[in-house]
């Protein structure tokens, strides 16, 4: 068990700090690719976008759960546990923050794939925008900027890509996956992966023995950024869903219940 119980008022307060995705995300989850395929040629990628949108919605719900537990664990171990335990609070918080960062990146990749399919583009169409290490999100964003510069989706992608909280979440995920995980205040002594000997101006060397190094982040900093990032990503998701709904309606698929 990651934490003990919290009262209903506290749980409601936590939920109010996070975005509500209903009913639009539920609409994305309920999209039926077989039914949608009836309205398009057999080679069209547009129906496949519905699956990627559903994947994105599921990932977004899971990200919100991770952020909910980040908040809940912090409250429980600092205010209700017996005994109170600050280090365990930070340990549980960072566990769920790590999860949220990974899922935010994944949600963005699902959404980028949905846009590719929705525009009926192939991977070959995106080849000119591919660079080593570039994410699908970045390739789609570059393609949109080049081919659809006035599209609301292009503006939404660019706005998110330039958002500082979103950029922090993506940088954090990149470091967590590819390098030393970012260091966090409150988890005891930490050290960076770097040589400890320092070369002196006279050509000699010095080794300073220290009790750890300064952590890069607090869980409060990361939590505030990741919560802001999920709100902003949800706004982009809604823009893409609106475009997809218009695309389906233009093909003769109506969603009267959403009017």
Instruction: Report the distance separating Cα 201 and Cα 209, nearest Å.
Output: 19
Query: What is the reported pLDDT for 259?
Result: 45
The H-or-E segment that residue 205 falls in is strand 205-207
Instruction: Report the distance separating Cα 229 and Cα 224, nearest Å.
Output: 9
Query: What is the reported pLDDT for 209?
Result: 83
Query: What is the reported pLDDT for 257?
Result: 57
Instruction: Report the distance separating Cα 68 and Cα 223, nearest Å.
Output: 10
User: In tens digits, what is the pLDDT along the chain, a chain of 259 residues?
Assistant: 689 999 999 999 999 999 998 889 999 999 999 999 999 999 999 999 999 999 999 999 999 999 999 999 999 999 999 999 999 999 999 999 999 999 999 999 999 999 999 999 988 888 888 887 689 999 999 999 999 999 999 999 999 999 999 999 999 999 999 999 999 999 988 888 888 888 899 889 988 888 888 899 999 999 999 999 999 999 999 999 999 999 999 999 987 655 4
Query: What is the reported pLDDT for 120?
Result: 94
Burial class (CB in 10 A: 0-12, 13-18, 19+), 126: middle
Strand-pairing partners, residue 184, are 217
Instruction: Report the distance separating Cα 105 and Cα 156, nearest Å.
Output: 16
Omega before 212 within 30 of 0, i.e. cis: no
- Exposure string for 171-180, b = 16+ CB within 10 A, e = fewer: ebbeebeeee
Please provide the DSSP assignment of 114-181 as one string: HHHHHTT--HHHHGGG--TT--HHHHHHHHHHHH-TT-HHHHHHHHHHT-HHHHHHHHHHHHHHHSSP
Query: What is the reported pLDDT for 125?
Result: 87
Instruction: Report the distance separating Cα 157 and Cα 161, nearest Å.
Output: 6
Query: What is the reported pLDDT for 126?
Result: 87
What is this structure's pTM?
0.92
Helix (H, G, I), strand (E, B) or coil at 217: strand
CB atoms within 10 A of CB 157: 26
Instruction: Report the distance separating Cα 62 and Cα 255, nearest Å.
Output: 26
CA distances (Å), origin 256, targets 15, 245, 259: 30, 11, 5
Greatest pairwise CA separation for the chain in angstroms: 79
Strand-pairing partners, residue 206, are 198
């Amino acid at each position: 068990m990651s934490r003990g119980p919290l009262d209903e008022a506290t749980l409601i307060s936590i939920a109010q700090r996070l975005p509500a995705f209903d009913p639009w995300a539920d609409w994305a989850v309920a999209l039926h690719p077989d039914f949608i395929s009836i309205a398009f040629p057999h080679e069209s990628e547009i129906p496949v976008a519905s699956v990627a949108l559903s994947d994105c919605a599921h990932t977004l719900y899971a990200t919100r759960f991770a952020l909910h537990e980040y908040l809940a664990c912090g409250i429980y171990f600092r205010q209700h546990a017996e005994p109170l335990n600050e280090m365990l609070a930070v340990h549980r918080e960072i566990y769920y923050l790590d999860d949220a960062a990974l899922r935010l990146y994944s949600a963005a990749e699902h959404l980028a794939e949905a846009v590719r399919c929705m525009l009926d583009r192939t991977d070959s169409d995106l080849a000119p925008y591919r660079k080593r290490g570039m994410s699908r999100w970045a390739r789609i964003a570059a393609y949109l900027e080049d081919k659809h510069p006035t599209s609301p989706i292009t503006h939404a992608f660019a706005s998110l890509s330039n958002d500082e909280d979103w950029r922090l979440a993506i940088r954090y995920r990149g470091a967590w996956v590819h390098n030393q995980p970012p260091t966090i205040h409150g988890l005891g002594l930490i050290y960076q992966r770097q040589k400890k000997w320092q070369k002196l101006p006279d050509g000699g060397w010095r080794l300073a023995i220290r009790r750890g190094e300064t952590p890069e982040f607090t869980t409060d900093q990361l939590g505030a950024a990741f919560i802001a990032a999920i709100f902003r990503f949800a706004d982009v998701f809604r823009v893409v869903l609106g475009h997809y709904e218009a695309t389906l309606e233009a093909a003769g698929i109506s969603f009267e219940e959403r009017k």
